């Protein structure tokens, strides 16, 4: 498995990685998926305190027990909830971050987190207070590095200027090319890595893509109509040729030098294996990359600019 460095950190991660949100609550199945991912060479696992209100962190923690040295572990904070109670609210305060990391460490069963991420963010946040919390946790050795999970260009620019983030997680795929407008290049210029989520666009960029368009794309997707989605996905599947559609979707987002890893979800071993075939695909050449761009839209952000 090829590996890439996250920003200026000493975190070196597999270029495809496992997002844990889709694992479900069956500990046995989740453990099997994580074990297979680690055996394949994946070393980056991404979870969040909000996923199943802490249950996901607990499941991940049990699955990696005795394997901590094989894992670059990332989780997130910022959504304030009380286990057992419905709902949550946005809370990027220093107090919540300091309390949240303690809860995450307990659920994960670890004494430090490799990459701690703010799970969102708005321009109205007390950004300096949030940064101060992360910096103190880093100095205390509780976290190794921190980043943000945000698609908002205005928030991202503030953290570039005011913080020591090493990464930004954002939605990015052939069907969601918004980061290409200026965010990817900007982050690359500042040696901050991108962790891409949603590279398969809700499964529409997989071997089962047309069925997923029928299931999830009836009302369109971003600025694509249903008809446009069918056309783009059909052509995308044709261009996959001697590689799987899953592999091509992953290769597309990983083509930009700002990318550290593409995070995919899996709720079964079969889904995991479909994405692991990426490792056996021939490289994506410039001609095919340009053709993929030609069949899709260069989406742009219409808010949070």
Catalytic annotation, residues = 51
Query: Measured between alpha carbons, how far is 202 from 91 in angstroms, rounded to an integer?
Result: 28
**How many CB atoms within 10 Å of residue 137?**
21
Query: Where on the phi/psi map is residue 163: left (φ > 0), alpha (ψ -120 to 50), or beta?
Result: beta
């Amino acid at each position: 498995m090829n590996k890439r460095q996250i920003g200026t950190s000493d975190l070196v991660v597999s270029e495809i990685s496992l997002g844990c949100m889709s694992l479900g609550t069956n500990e046995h199945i989740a453990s099997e998926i994580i074990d297979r991912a680690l055996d394949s060479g994946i070393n980056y696992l991404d979870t969040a305190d909000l996923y199943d209100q802490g249950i996901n962190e607990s499941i991940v923690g049990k699955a990696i027990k005795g394997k901590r040295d094989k894992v670059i572990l990332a989780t997130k904070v910022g959504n304030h909830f009380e286990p057992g109670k419905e709902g949550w609210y946005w809370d990027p305060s220093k107090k919540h971050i300091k309390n949240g990391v303690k809860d995450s460490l307990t659920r994960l069963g670890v004494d430090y987190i490799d990459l701690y991420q703010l799970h969102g963010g708005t321009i109205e946040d007390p950004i300096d207070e949030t940064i101060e919390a992360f910096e103190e946790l880093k100095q205390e050795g509780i976290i190794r590095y921190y980043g943000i999970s945000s698609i908002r260009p205005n928030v991202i620019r503030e953290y570039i200027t005011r913080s020591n983030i090493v990464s930004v997680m954002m939605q990015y795929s052939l069907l969601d090319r918004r980061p290409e407008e200026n965010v990817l290049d900007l982050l690359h210029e500042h040696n901050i890595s991108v962790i891409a989520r949603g590279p398969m666009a809700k499964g529409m960029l997989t071997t089962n893509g047309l069925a997923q368009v029928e299931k999830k794309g009836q009302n369109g997707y971003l600025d694509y109509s249903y008809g446009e989605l069918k056309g783009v996905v059909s052509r995308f599947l044709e261009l996959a040729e001697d590689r799987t559609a899953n592999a091509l979707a992953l290769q597309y987002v990983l083509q930009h030098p700002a990318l550290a890893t593409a995070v995919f979800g899996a709720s079964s071993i079969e889904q995991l294996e479909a994405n692991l075939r990426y490792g056996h695909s021939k490289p994506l050449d410039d001609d095919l990359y340009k053709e993929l761009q030609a069949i899709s839209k260069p989406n742009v952000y219409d808010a949070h600019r």
